[in-house]
Structure 1
Amino acid sequence: MHALIVVAHPDPRSLSHAVAAQVSQGLHAREGGHSVEIADLAAEGFDPRFGQADIAVHLRLAQPPADVLAEQARIDRADALVLVYPVFWWSMPALLKGWIDRVFANGWAYDFGEDERLHKRLQRLPVHQLALGGADVRTYARHGYFGAMKTQIEHGIFDYCGARVQTSELLLGSDSADVLANLCKAREIGRGLFDARRQSRAA
């Protein structure tokens, strides 16, 4: 099976990239011939700006631009989508949000047309998100971030398209012990990405 790991951090030396690499290594450590593609949005220069061409796609007046079609094809090839990103201003980075804005388009991720009915088109896609935050768990809990993360991302984005969020991890802490624990957690998630028992429970 094939996983697409999307990482959104401008620094290739970042913990986000290290976590993405550990997910990949964990998956490769399992038997079964699984494959992985890492989409480094910053290094690849993906344009996150939602412009006139994207509005035309949303209104079903035009086909998606070539860069969007390429990203959709990446997801179509994948049996699982993994998002790895730092928490910026208590949300995902603009680069990743723009990737979702443009790629998860009307007519591909969902259909909302003249009948004014929503048709979810990504029901086959399991999603795993790993967000990295610098604050401690008490700070996030005190301000309701966990609920906000579930509402905004799990429900607001993926449930709207029918995709199943199987992993939603907020990896916290910045000292060496925390970093090591987070890397181990990422590798564990990679190893279990295509766990048959997990797939059957989510079906």
Structure 2
Amino acid sequence: MQALIVVAHPDQGSFTHAAAGEVARAIVEAGHQVERVDLCEEGFDPRFGAADLALFRSGAALPDDVLAEQRRLDRADALVLVYPIYWWSFPAILKGWIDRVFTSGWAYAERPDGSLEKKLGHLDVHLLAVGGANLRTFARHGYFAAMRTQIDHGIFDYVGAPVRSSELLLHPEAGFPDTALATARRIGQQVFA
């Protein structure tokens, strides 16, 4: 089986990249394949532009970069997103990737009766969010619940992709970074378990 790991952090030496590396190693050690995407390194353009709008409004041709990303996802049995938390959500580049790639007709479709066809039910999703606040802060303000509502439900449930794990890897927690890397490794071991 194949996992697509998408990383959204501009620093190759970041903890975000280290966590993605642990996930990838565990998946490969379990006998599966990994394709790793570094949105920043590849220069993915997250801006929803005129071509994206034309596609949405009238079914115009897919932009080449969007088609390439959809092909990556079509090859994958699981999607793993590893990202830092910026303002209690995704970094803009990752949000833009979803905005542009999860298109109507490919990720979802509205049926003639007005109901929604969720087209990504075959794609298991695992989310690893790296944050700089402690768990008490996330709990006290409801940040993690809000993120799960917005991301797990608002995006992935909308397209039918089941979220199998949604984890916070928090810098100020006891044992960081070892405990967080162990969590990333555990997620990698469970992707195809």
| Contact 2:111/2:117 (8 A) holds in 1 | no
- In the other structure, the counterpart of 1:8 is 8
On the 8 A contact 2:129/2:169 being kept in 1, the answer is yes
Once the two structures are superposed, what CA deviation does each residue of 1:30-59 show, in whole Å capped at 9, x if it has no partner? 2xx310011000000000000111111112
Unaligned 5+ segments in structure 1 are 196-203
Q: Which position in structure 2 is the counterpart of 1:23?
A: 23
**C-alpha separation between the residues in 2 aligned to 1:41 and 1:27?**
20
Residue from 41, 46, 53 that aligns with 1:55: 53
Measured after TM superposition, the shift of residue 88 of structure 1 is 0.4
Q: State which of 70, 85, 92 in structure 2 corresponds to 1:94.
A: 92
Q: How does 1:21-170 map to 2 (within 5 A)?
A: 21-30=21-30, 33-112=31-110, 115-170=113-168
Q: Closer, same or farther in 2 for the Cα pair 1:56/1:112, shift >3 Å?
A: farther
Aligned-partner SS, 1:170: strand
User: Please, what TM-score do these two structures have when normalized by structure 2?
Assistant: 0.96
Is the Cα–Cα contact under 8 Å of residues 60 and 106 in structure 1 kept in the other structure?
no
Alpha-carbon distance in 2 for matches of 1:94, 1:113:
30
TM-score by length of 1: 0.91
The CA deviation string for residues 105-140 of structure 1, in whole angstroms up to 9 with x for no partner, is: 001000126543311100111000000000001101
Q: Distance in 2 between matches of 1:133 and 1:120?
A: 30
* Whole-angstrom CA distance in 2 between matches of 1:60 and 1:116: 18
Letter in 1 for 2:57: L
Shift of 1:149: 1.2
Residue equivalent to 2:184? 186
- 2:42 and 2:136 map into 1 onto residues whose CA distance is 36
Taking only aligned residues, the RMSD between alpha carbons, in angstroms, comes to 1.4
Amino acid at match of 2:180: N
Aligned length: 193
Contact 1:48 1:98 in 2 (8 A): yes
CA distance in 2, matches of 1:83, 1:140: 20
Letter in 2 for 1:94: A
Distance in 2 (CA, whole Å) between partners of 1:62 and 1:99 is 19
Amino acid at match of 1:96: L
Contact 1:57 1:63 (8 Å CA) reproduced: yes
Identical-residue share of aligned pairs (%): 60
Residue 198 of structure 1 aligns with which residue?
A: none
